[in-house]
Amino acid sequence: MRWDTVLFDMDGTLTDSQEGIVKSVSYALERLGRELPPRDTLTAFIGPPLHESFSAICGMDEAETERAVCEFRDYFARRGWAENVPYEGMAEFLAALHAAGLRLIVATSKPESFARKILEHFALERYFNLICGSHPEDRASADKASVVRTALTRAGVTGRAVMVGDRRHDIYGAHANGLEAIGVLYGYGSREELSAAGADFLAADLNELKTALLQQ
């Protein structure tokens, strides 16, 4: 096989987290007295670090961004994490990769505690050697390049690894660490976004992704 280790983004790659994230963002904006933007704007929050999104999408200053992130996490911790569902066929897909001998790692900008809770809830954690996410007390840990670097270090990866994700941040994070990157088109990043970011491969669905990873 071309790779022996696969790093996965989570939101938009392993699970469809749209409902939980959109509701968490909406809750945060309402708590701050902000008008809710169109739903298409809210879905842009799926994937990138929250501080970046509240600042770039909503034009918030530092203090307002911090408050928005706290309100988001308040809702997400209570309800948003459960408003999440694995993509159809994900368990079988991961089982096939695991059975083929690939080492699987989660590398997400989502707080690690939430990522683990969600994967355990859906009994998907069993397929991963490591679940690596950010830490709320360290904003820099949510940067995708940092997440990927930390995951590689913690897992002791020395072989050939590839990153799989649905947004440009996943591609940039992979390339910053010398990895190839596969962009998935079933998530929330468009073909144009992923191609412009320099994705080495594109996969329309889990079948195409499985073929690429197993070199079938």
Angle, CA of 198, 51 and 112, to the nearest 5°: 80
Q: Is 9 a catalytic residue?
A: yes
Rg (CA), the chain: 16
Chain position carrying tokens 């994070």: 173
Which of 9, 16, 143, 170 is the catalytic position?
Answer: 9
Counting other chains too, the contacts that 188-192 makes at CB distance below 8 Å and 24 or more residues apart are 188/11, 188/12, 188/18, 188/43, 188/44, 188/46, 188/47, 189/12, 189/47, 189/165
User: How many residues can be counted in the chain?
Assistant: 216
For the annotated catalytic residues, the residue numbers are 9
